[in-house]
Amino acid sequence: MSVRHFLTLADLGREGLLGVLRRAHELKRLRGTADHPRALASKSIGILMEKASTRTRVSFEVAIHELGGQAVVLAGRDMQISRDEPLSDTSRVLSRYLHAVIMRTHGHERLAELAQASSIPFVNALTDRYHPCQLLADLMTIQEHRAGGLKDLSVAWIGDGNNMAHSWILASALLDFELRLACPAGYEPLDEVLAEANALGGGRRVVTPHPEVAVADAHVITTDVWASMGQEDEKEARKRAFSNFCVTEELFALAAEDRLFLHCLPAHRGEEVAASVIDGPRSVVWDEAENRLHGQKALLEYLIRPA
């Protein structure tokens, strides 16, 4: 039986993604009830952290606990991979102890190499190229708060063509919605990610240097910090490049009347978003953050099959 990994949204495919979202809503309704499943009973799940985290670590630990499993939190700096043990060796060893590994790391190639040598599922909890678990929460939140759900959806991404932008690009192709990405010159998404989305065949994607073009009549406006972890030395240069890419009240008002604001957090008010927008009545960031838990529960159920 082949191993199911989750390195990008494309690993689920359209029907798999929609199925995980449906199950996430069910698990949210069942939370705290006697009917909540314990699909991970007697399972041990590794959480391998090579980058700092709040939402990722807490949501996955709680998800594993509430599904009846045991979380084994691993710090990369304390493991032999920090002393040049081959990634494939580490992966083979972990496969003998655990039932899955959730990893938050820097280079996507690092995660892919571990997954290739593994006989258990690897889950991308964030790399420098993709952040697919966050998209499960984002899409779930849109379904909860928008009357039309994901149908005829238009999303505006404002800011860096980063791992979040790349994950939105794949989501638009899988679920057939319009995505407009407003990025400063030199910070556009990778051409190969756009090409992968085009090969998947669905949706429509536009990259523009003009936030007003991206936002016009969009149903969802979303953004991210200007300098992510590992980019601290670029902070001042990025502030200059992104100075016209703040989601202000004026920009937000150009979107559709039923507009929603999303942010993966942490947020820097006054930089990528105005406080009045992220803390305003059309912001759903706290439901979005909670939905990390429910989306990841559904994902773990999907990936980890009964013994």
Which strands make up the sheet holding 154-158, listed edge to edge?
204-208, 178-182, 154-158, 220-223, 260-263
**Going along the chain, which residue ranges are E strands?**
44-49, 70-75, 100-104, 122-126, 154-158, 178-182, 204-208, 220-223, 260-263
Give catalytic residues, as residue numbers. Answer: 104, 131, 134, 224, 264, 292
Residue 187 contacts by C-beta under 8 Å, 6 or more apart in sequence?
A: 159, 160, 161, 241, 242
Burial degree of 219 (CB within 10 A; 0-12, 13-18, 19+) = buried
Give how far Cα 235 sits from Cα of 75, 192, 245, 305, Å.
26, 26, 15, 43
Q: Which residues, in sequence order, are bridge partners of residue 181?
A: 157, 207
Q: Using an 8 Å Cβ cutoff, are 224 and 263 in contact? A: yes
3-state secondary structure 67-118: CCCEEEEEEHHHCHHHHCCCHHHHHHHHHHHCCEEEEECCCHHHHHHHHHCC
Give the residue among 14, 19, 110 at the shortest CA–CA distance from 303.
Answer: 19
